[in-house]
A and B are shown apart, each in its own frame.
Chain A
Amino acid sequence: MNFRAHIRVMPRDGLLDPQGQAVENALTELAFDGVSSVRVGRAIEVGVAADSLEDAEDATRRMCERLLANPVTEDFLIEVDPA
């Protein structure tokens, strides 16, 4: 079966995110009121062939742990859908 993995990699909470800060400043300058806590991360999509949804999720998790996210500085969220 073919699946599509949607992966969101975000800078870990508490770590300085200068990109997020810069975007927040720009939004505030554009007069968007009430903007706060902007964080900038990365979205990755991967086609995965696997026997089941669980297998596809498991494979995606291992991809994140080995390569797609840095365990020192980033957290990841996974969503896998049938392709």
Chain B
Amino acid sequence: MMRAAVVRFPGSNCDMDALRAAERAGCRAYFVWHRDDDLQQADVVLLPGGFSYGDYLRSGAIARFSPIMQAVRRHAADGGPVLGICNGFQILCEAGLLPGALLPNAGLTFVSRPVPVRVENVATPFTTAYRKNELVHFPVAHGEGRFVAAPDTIEELEASDRVVLRYADGGNPNGSSADIAGICSSDGNVVGIMPHPERVADPAIGDDPGHKFFSSLAAWRAAAPDEPITTPA
């Protein structure tokens, strides 16, 4: 069974949703505190949404210095899957694990609604269960979700197929460059997205198009048999 660590920062508020979504996909999921420095043999790390450290200074700017982020950095460097959702995406950018930055929405208002997105990269550990360019509706809930990066960075992301999610059908809610809703690292193991698949991952609250973000992990693991599988503690 895969072990999924959900990192809790002061101000995280999607941590329980992320934990439940991982559990429903068959993971042994557990919380780790931001002051911890040990991921407890995690196979996958989830950085949930919320307002870590009150979003002081800039979203994610302070969280990246948490002791646990050193462990997350090592996990990512070893090729371990990391998914940052919303505030988690902001933290990954501030930490330099993903390029670019997330700025206040172009319309200046907090946007909370389902938006259409396309899953463009289906090779990451979190997206193998989707069809390429599959259209799904995920909720967004953010005030600072406008993805920006230097033009050559955007070009490189596009050329190397590192745009994982893209707002579709004119549904860009925040003015993101190139309608980008989520990207991955050059190795594909670190993924950051603004929309919230974990909020639509259980049929009890309607449809569950986000479930595959978590169930993909099993297929990804099966396709990489040479990776050491952690024995549950």
Is B104 a contact of A19 with CB atoms below 8 Å?
yes
Q: What are the residues of chain A within 8 A of B108 when measuring CB–CB?
A: 18-19, 22
Is B148 a contact of A70 with CB atoms below 8 Å?
no
Known: A15-B148, A16-B175. A70 touches B106 (CB 8 A): no
Q: What are the residues of chain B within 8 A of A35 when measuring CB–CB?
A: none
Is A18 a contact of B149 with CB atoms below 8 Å?
no
Max chain A Cβ within 10 angstroms of own Cβ: one of B99, B103, B108, B148: B103
Give A67-81 interface residues, CB cut-off 8 Å to B: 67-68, 70, 72-73
* Docked complex Cα distance between A22 and B108 (Å): 9
Q: What are the residues of chain B within 8 A of A11 when measuring CB–CB?
A: 103
Contact residues of A: prevailing secondary structure: mixed
Is A72 a contact of B106 with CB atoms below 8 Å?
no
Is A70 a contact of B104 with CB atoms below 8 Å?
no
Known: A18-B105, A18-B106, A18-B108. A72 touches B148 (CB 8 A): yes
* Docked complex Cα distance between A73 and B150 (Å): 9
* Docked complex Cα distance between A73 and B153 (Å): 13
Interface size on A, residues (CB 8 A): 11
Q: What are the residues of chain B within 8 A of A15 when measuring CB–CB?
A: 103, 148
* Docked complex Cα distance between A16 and B146 (Å): 10
Q: Separation in Å of the A52 CB from the closest CB of chain B? A: 28
Whether B15 sits at the interface, judged by CB under 8 Å, is no
Whether B224 sits at the interface, judged by CB under 8 Å, is no
Which residue of chain A is the closest to B108 with respect to CB atoms?
A18
Whether B101 sits at the interface, judged by CB under 8 Å, is yes
- Please, what's the 1-or-0 string for B127-150, where 1 marks a CB less than 8 Å from any CB in chain A? 000000000000000000010111
Q: What are the residues of chain A within 8 A of B149 when measuring CB–CB?
A: 72
Is B106 a contact of A67 with CB atoms below 8 Å?
no
Q: What are the residues of chain A within 8 A of B101 when measuring CB–CB?
A: 70, 72-73
Is A72 a contact of B150 with CB atoms below 8 Å?
yes
* Docked complex Cα distance between A73 and B58 (Å): 11
Extra contacts, 18 of them, besides A15-B103, A73-B101 (Cβ < 8 A), are A11-B103, A16-B106, A16-B146, A18-B104, A18-B105, A18-B106, A18-B108, A18-B175, A19-B104, A19-B108, A22-B108, A67-B61, A68-B57, A70-B94, A70-B101, A72-B99, A72-B148, A72-B149
